[in-house]
Amino acid sequence: MVDGRTVGFIDVGTNSIHVLVTQFFPDSVGAPIFDDKESVRLGQNLFAEGFIDQETIERTKLVIGRFVKIAKDMGAEEIFAFATCAAREAYNRNELLDAASEAGIDLRIISGTEEARLVGLGVFGPYGPPDRCVDIDLGGGSTEINLCKGSETIFLDSLMAGSVRFSYGLGIDQRGVVSSAEYEKILRAVDKVAENAANRLREIGFDRAVGSSGTMINLAEICAARRDGDASYMTKKELSELMRDLCAMDEVQRRGVPRMNPGRSDIIIGGGAIAEELMRLFEIDKIFISDRGLREGMQFDYLLGKGRKEFNLRRSSVMTLARRCGFNEKHASQVNMLTMQLFDSTKDLGLHSMNGDVRGLLGYAATLHDIGEFISYNKHNVHSYTIILNSNMPGFTSAELEDMALMAKFHHKRFPGANHKLLKTLPRQRAKTVRYCAMMLRMADVLDRHRSSPVDSMRVLTVGDSVLIDLKSKEDLSMEVWKLEELSEPFKDVFGLELRICASGWGGARI
């Protein structure tokens, strides 16, 4: 049983040490309550001199000790720590293990294929991707490859190519300008370690590629800054152009490149060369970026080890966010139920043709519509919009988060026209869908405006050029009817029909 438990996960990588502290709320796959990292560069001296120097080991001990203390202070009952490439290769790895033990943790060194498996679990979740998808996790010492579809793992590999390894282990001083010949040498080093994986992936084939790790994220951010700001992907063409430009700069100049992480300016050439050449070898024109990886994989693996078999990542993400914001669960459940009734009834009447995916998003928006009250009731719809939009909830795309955020925003105050500034940036059909859903959510919220669940049943019918909503209740629904009638004009603007309300059962009827 893991509900209510807090667990810490520490990833001791070749470049950085990461910590993730997770609380397992009920109905949750885990909510991060603390997430941090510190660059210690375990691999820098390792790949230059062949061993991890004592100063770096001491720094690693300090960071691990601090992260262990933070996790325990936050209530962690268990802490798991895994070490990857640098620890696998260092002949003095026992010194590192002893230092971790002194810092209060048993550090486990995992194999490259186990790292690839866990990274894929973190990126894709326990059910895996619906299509055949390859993840490329570009680390400091190695690059892990995971090709899977659904829960089936098709191919795993760990390549001896990493941003720190290829920045400090090839004898090329990358702090200055990198010549074409030097960059070509890095590319050929990638070819040497990736040939077998490339042949295998081309033989198997895949539908989509994802890149993970800090280096991949930073490369995509820099490419996005030169394009339109969307860092959710990058193309091989723009990455090749970026690398040509970065090679012409020294390290100091690279730090001034928009969105460059200063802590990566000395390893961006080695890392970028690996990303570029793997995209060429694997025949990838466009790669999508994930900010999830080993720590999230450790988290899912922990749940699997505890016997969890059913995972609903989207619902878990929504319920976790809702509970962290202290939502009114009874009201949210009632609004969700009424919203779904309105969606299904209006679809049956032919008033829209939105599919089940939209229905699901609307249901999640209904659950989250009031979470902005966590900040203040005043403008809570705006706060809900901001929280959802920036929540980065696992299981949802950025477009889906935006749509849910807009539905929540428009459930209160003035209903938006088709030319509202937040809708004009969306494709026409998406904007139309958001308005349809926001209207249904708004109506459902009105029907529980006093949070007493007064509506016993509801029917939706078309009568001539009108939509009739027939409400049954043992309570006086005068206020609810009145507020619904105020929506007549925007309802007609959205659905093209008049809105009529019939409420009965509380001692009278009003039409």
* Confidence bin at 320 (pLDDT 50/70/90): confident
Cα–Cα dist 177/392, whole Å: 37
* Confidence bin at 311 (pLDDT 50/70/90): confident
Instruction: Kindly state the average pLDDT of the residues 321-347.
Output: 94
Give whole-number Cα distances, 492 to 145, 271, 330, 432, in Å: 53, 56, 30, 14
**Number of alpha carbons in the 13 Å side-chain half-sphere of residue 352:** 22
The token pair at 407 is 């539905």
CATH topology for the 113-291 domain: Nucleotidyltransferase; domain 5 (3.30.420)
Bridge partners, residue 266, by sequence: none
pLDDT exceeds 90 at position 275: yes
DSSP letter for 211, please.
E
16-23/6-12 β-pairing: antiparallel
Q: What is the CATH number of domain 314-504?
A: 1.10.3210.10
Contact (Cβ atoms closer than 8 angstroms) between residue 497 and residue 421: no
Cα–Cα dist 298/123, whole Å: 11
* Confidence bin at 1 (pLDDT 50/70/90): low
Contact (Cβ atoms closer than 8 angstroms) between residue 34 and residue 19: yes
Instruction: Kindly state the average pLDDT of the residues 130-144.
Output: 95
Query: Which contiguous run of DSSP H or E holds residue 16?
Result: strand 16-23
pLDDT exceeds 80 at position 20: yes
* Residue 312 backbone class (left: φ over 0; alpha: ψ -120 to 50; beta: rest): beta
The token pair at 251 is 């390290």
Q: Give per-residue pLDDT as tens, 350-398.
A: 999 999 999 999 999 999 999 999 999 999 999 999 999 999 888 888 8
Strands (E), 215-343: 233-235, 286-289
* Confidence bin at 510 (pLDDT 50/70/90): very low
End-to-end, the C-alpha distance of the chain in Å comes to 52
Instruction: Kindly state the average pLDDT of the residues 219-224.
Output: 97
Amino acid identity for residue 451 in this structure: R
Fold agreement (6-110, 314-504): no
Cα–Cα dist 198/114, whole Å: 20
Which residues lie below 8 Å from residue 184, measured CB to CB, with a gap of 6+? Answer: none
The token pair at 215 is 């280096």
The token pair at 345 is 């009834």
DSSP string, 121-184: HHHH-TT--SS-EEEEEE-SS-EEEEEEETTEEEEEEEES--TTHHHHSSS--TTS---HHHHH
6-110: CATH class: alpha beta
Amino acid identity for residue 58 in this structure: E
Q: Give per-residue pLDDT as tens, 432-483.
A: 999 999 999 999 999 998 888 899 889 999 999 999 999 998 888 888 888 8
Give whole-number Cα distances, 287 to 210, 346, 392, 395, in Å: 5, 39, 19, 18
Cα–Cα dist 467/491, whole Å: 10
* Domain-wise residue ranges, the chain: 6-110, 113-291, 314-504
Q: Report the pLDDT value the prediction gives residue 61, as an integer from 0 to 100.
A: 96
Residue count of the chain, please give it.
511
Report yes or no on whether pTM surpasses 0.85.
no
pLDDT exceeds 70 at position 286: yes
DSSP string, 28-96: -S-EEEEEEEEE--HHHHHHHHSS--HHHHHHHHHHHHHHHHHHHHTT-SEEEEEE-HHHHH-TTHHHH
Q: Report the pLDDT value the prediction gives residue 439, as an integer from 0 to 100.
A: 96
Residue carrying the six token digits 């699901």: 360
Q: Give per-residue pLDDT as tens, 164-213.
A: 999 999 999 999 999 999 999 999 999 999 999 999 999 999 999 999 99
The token pair at 456 is 């016993």
Cα–Cα dist 488/442, whole Å: 12
Instruction: Kindly state the average pLDDT of the residues 257-279.
Output: 96
Average pLDDT, the chain: 93
Question: In a 3-state reduction of DSSP, which class is residue 135?
Answer: strand
Percent over 70 (pLDDT), the chain: 98
Q: Report the pLDDT value the prediction gives residue 506, as an integer from 0 to 100.
A: 55
pLDDT exceeds 90 at position 508: no
pLDDT exceeds 60 at position 509: no
